[in-house]
Structure 1
Amino acid sequence: MQLIRSALFNVTMYVWMAIVGIACIPLLIASPEGARWACSFYARSTLWQLARITGLRSEIRGTVPTGGVLVAAKHQSFLDIILIWTALSRPFFIMKSILRFAPFLGMYALRLGCIPVHRGKRTEAIKLMLAEVRSGKREGGQLLIYPQGTRVAPGAKRPYKVGTFALYDQLKQPCVPVATNVGVFWPKRGILRRPGLAVAEFLEPIPPGLDRATFMATLEARIETASNRLMEEAGFPVAIDPQTIGDPVAHAAHDVAGGKHH
């Protein structure tokens, strides 16, 4: 039965995207703010449909930033994108270049000033991201990046990429980490949507001015520690990676997350 509910929701989600995308084209043409309203309306109504059809509710925790900050989030599925979007006042994204051609999603994202980058071309991507940020074409807002570069399934390991530090160093703004457990309920692949409570949690901001090693260790430790806690809360058993046992870098990162380094 849950699989049937999930399939129904998936069809509804994409049909609704087409309906809203077409109906709001005048807003898209009129201004970026019109496009932002359309995206927010779609995101909130989709979360409502998700809860009613599949029983998967959602919740935002922590202090949501309102000014100009860099937001670095754990990425497990499309659901965390929707959740974070509904929380932020003026978000724009670092996104995969191929998404420019996605129906409706691509044209709205570009209108909002999202930055497309090519996966696998790290140096080129970082240069493009920095050039876009330096251009000053945007009026503040929250720049959202996924520091692991792609969706990562619960329990899987993937390195944090240096592009996040490059933006943090250039912007001279706080970086707000975001943890999540959405992959437990809405997996990276497949159509099943499990009932429960999906959470995106905004964590303690990382102040500007840290060196690369300290920043990257702090960011990864905070996001991974909080995401593991949220996944365990959702009933997902989080195993300790044996590769980190006795690893001084991993232990240093853990200490940073616990507030032992300032």
Structure 2
Amino acid sequence: MTGPVSALQWLRSLIFVVQGSVAMVLWGIVLLPGALVSRRVARFACRSYAYYAMWTARWMVGIRTEIRGTPPTDEVLVAAKHQSFLDIMMIFAVLPQAKFIMKRELLWTPAIGQYAWRIGCVPVDRGKRGQAIRKMVADVEKGRAYPGQLVIYPQGTRVAPHARVPYKVGTAVLFRELGQDCVPVATNVGLFWPRSGILKRPGLGVVEFLPRIPADTPPETFLARVETEIERATDRLLTEAEHAQDR
């Protein structure tokens, strides 16, 4: 899986990254006036760009995408493994009303911040853990006027394939406070679209929606359960992809 990469794949990756960045800027500028007055337009802009990025990834750098399991359509907490920008786009493309827990600094990113605000994302300050969690819960409660699927990354950041990073308690706090089912999500996309860098590798990137964890699950066992289920499924997807590459 980590074998030599041709100069052509590097060139394709560079072209893909450049055109994707240019397309994002153009998308954001053209649709921003409509997005500022209509949440539906904002969501359309984000979803259509996600589909565009996945389409170009397929024929430009050889990354195919696949959704497994059943994406939820009701109000739930989605606890997702996060490996790169690709899993964000894949999740957003298939959830009808996705909104993300995000770093507050992103609100000040041109265009991205405005779109995130319009689709109902919940910004969270990074600082003292307890203060951040309380603010997160309060912001989520305020956001209930916009029903949908609240997506949180339990590890708090992008994590490279096979790396072990602790799951943060904020996910368990949200689960307890919201009183909603939780849908865990596993992925292997970091093998093909890494969390940083230009190089993209061909292969099948999968996002898998796992069976629900019921809202009445004891809070004291929830975090361990969600970590076990996500990590087990992610390891399975990684092994499957690596075996496919070795054939």
Q: Same fold (TM over 0.5)?
A: yes
Q: Distance in 1 between matches of 2:98 and 2:210?
A: 17
1:194 partner amino acid: R
Q: Which residue of 2 aligns with 1:74?
A: 81
1:195 aligns with 2:222: no
Q: What secondary structure does 2:78 align onto? A: strand
Out of 36, 40, 54, the position equivalent to 2:47 is: 40
The alpha-carbon deviation at position 236 of structure 1 amounts to: 7.0
Q: Which residue of 1 aligns with 2:29?
A: 22
Displaced runs of 4 or more, over 3 A: none
1:180 aligns with 2:213: no
1:17 partner amino acid: M
Q: Using CA pairs under 8 Å that are at least 6 residues apart, name the structure with larger relative contact order, 1 or 2.
A: 2
Q: Distance in 2 between matches of 1:72 and 1:226?
A: 13
Q: Which residue of 1 aligns with 2:178?
A: 171
Q: Distance in 1 between matches of 2:93 and 2:161?
A: 23
Q: Which residue of 1 aligns with 2:226?
A: 219
Contact in 2 for aligned 1:17/1:104 (Cα 8 Å)? no
Q: What secondary structure does 1:157 align onto? A: coil
Q: Distance in 2 between matches of 1:121 and 1:200?
A: 32
1:1-262 map, 5 Å: 1-135=8-142, 137-235=144-242
1:26 partner amino acid: P
The alpha-carbon deviation at position 206 of structure 1 amounts to: 0.2
Cα 1:20–1:140 shift into 2, 3 Å: same
Q: 1:163-198 CA deviation, whole Å, 9 max, x = no partner?
A: 001111111110000000001111122111000100
The alpha-carbon deviation at position 26 of structure 1 amounts to: 2.4
Q: Distance in 1 between matches of 2:188 and 2:243?
A: 9
Q: Distance in 1 between matches of 2:150 and 2:109?
A: 21
Q: Distance in 2 between matches of 1:189 and 1:119?
A: 21
Gaps of 5+ in 1: 238-262
The alpha-carbon deviation at position 133 of structure 1 amounts to: 2.1
The CA RMSD over aligned residues, in Å, is 1.4
Cα 1:33–1:106 shift into 2, 3 Å: same
Q: What secondary structure does 1:235 align onto? A: helix
1:132 partner amino acid: D
Q: 1:80-135 CA deviation, whole Å, 9 max, x = no partner?
A: 10110101000000001111122221110011121111234321221111112222
Q: What secondary structure does 2:151 align onto? A: strand
Q: How many residues align?
A: 237
The alpha-carbon deviation at position 136 of structure 1 amounts to: 5.1
Q: 1:142-161 CA deviation, whole Å, 9 max, x = no partner?
A: 00000000011011111001
Q: Distance in 1 between matches of 2:188 and 2:59?
A: 20
TM superposition score normalised by structure 2 = 0.92
1:143 partner amino acid: L
TM superposition score normalised by structure 1 = 0.87
- Identity among equivalent positions (%) equals 53
The alpha-carbon deviation at position 29 of structure 1 amounts to: 1.7
Range moving further from structure 2, 41-50 or 109-118: 109-118
